[in-house]
Structure 1
């Protein structure tokens, strides 16, 4: 039997402008991306330009962030906390009502299902920490040119924050990107993606009923169970072309022309 290594997990104390926000359980990689992504996802910044500096003190396990935007900790902590579900449980300060006020997505970009499945397979093959341990979550951005960028963490929320942070730091345009994740798409995961403006979100597992309702309201396409030649498209925004359905014109899998897609 092949023995895999154990996933890394560290307590990281997030300190913003000298104020301790909370201690998070994180995988100790791409912490700067995570800081940008988490602060954006929770509404503490609107762009990378508001971040003056990010530094990690490995000795104390503190991640220090300096903001230029008049950060008010009292206003933040006065908001009601919503505890997230599942592994790597965290806290979000956005309620369902808050998320419904996010800007609706208007992207007209479309993708064939076979393309998304192929990219999910590529994502799986380019997740080194998962391949090493078998116990990590990942999040992936598909760029307009088809290239991908992957971030991993012990928690699915953290992985998504990391990839959003990468996108923010690189000034990427959300409407031209696809977000893939290994974790369940719950309402708080959907809210992170919606705040950044992703038009298409996919996962190898399920989406919750609340997430799907929210996605429909915000005009976001959501696909789950991206495995092999199969998927469940929960929404009807028209951005995922069902080219694998039996009888669909030009179905490459029926003609045996498509590359095999790995789980």
Structure 2
């Protein structure tokens, strides 16, 4: 298979009320969703109503955010930064201790493992940037009716922020959603889903020990290596029913 395109890296500087927050390397797609998802994931906003205006200035590589309430840039800059694992030097302002203070996830939704495998396949088939370049991460939410929404980016964190931004913007009920990602689920990736209130996360690759510990604490189910007829259930929250014979056993 010959791919005609290379993955896109696009530097974008995020401004909040005229204050430069940082410059991020993104893929030039769904930047409005990314901005909302990032701001929400980092606790800067609690929902779209906190935003007065969001402007995407692609010509100058800027995203301009105006808040309804005053943003204290100096106070925010003093928050402790944690550099994330992989995908360049991503930064989160939530530590493991901070995330443990999030509300525990209460949802009664359960799914069969075969359903996750099916949705992971649909996700892969509906990732056009990956199919074009072979070098993209993706994130996908699955609603209670089985509908999927996919967002893609060169960074796994960015892709998750994009799809969560869509969910926040549309006011979706997090308890009804499943989050699927192509990237490793590390603690900061887990924290993004936990902040929104999603109780089930699946990935085609691994989850870190810290993410699994945090997931068990917050009552989130984490399933890794969702490929073909195989998967690894890392947690024991009872949200995934094993109806597939070739599934790896649960891990502590």
TM range (shorter): over 0.9
After superposition, the C-alpha distances for 1:94-129 in whole angstroms (9 at most, x for unaligned) are 000000000000101000000010000000000000
Normalised by the size of structure 2, how large is the TM-score? Answer: 0.96
Structure 2: distance between partners of 1:105 and 1:130: 31
Moved over 2 A (4+): none
For structure 1, the residue ranges without an aligned partner over 5 or more in a row are 247-263
Matched with 1:101 is 101
Q: How does 1:1-263 map to 2 (within 5 A)?
A: 2-245=2-245
How far residue 71 of structure 1 moved from its aligned partner, in angstroms, is 1.6
Structure 2: distance between partners of 1:3 and 1:199: 36
For structure 2, the residue ranges without an aligned partner over 5 or more in a row are 247-252
- Work out whether residues 45 and 69 of structure 1, in 8 Å CA contact, stay in contact via their aligned partners in 2: no
Structure 1: distance between partners of 2:229 and 2:18: 50
RMSD (Å) for aligned C-alpha atoms: 1.0
Structure 2: distance between partners of 1:123 and 1:51: 30
Query: What secondary structure sits across from 1:59 in the alignment?
Result: helix
How far residue 70 of structure 1 moved from its aligned partner, in angstroms, is 2.3
How far residue 58 of structure 1 moved from its aligned partner, in angstroms, is 2.1
Matched with 1:257 is none
- Work out whether residues 199 and 219 of structure 1, in 8 Å CA contact, stay in contact via their aligned partners in 2: yes
Normalised by the size of structure 1, how large is the TM-score? Answer: 0.92
Structure of larger gyration radius:
1
Structure 1: distance between partners of 2:4 and 2:243: 37
After superposition, the C-alpha distances for 1:168-217 in whole angstroms (9 at most, x for unaligned) are 00000100000000000000100111101110000000000000000000
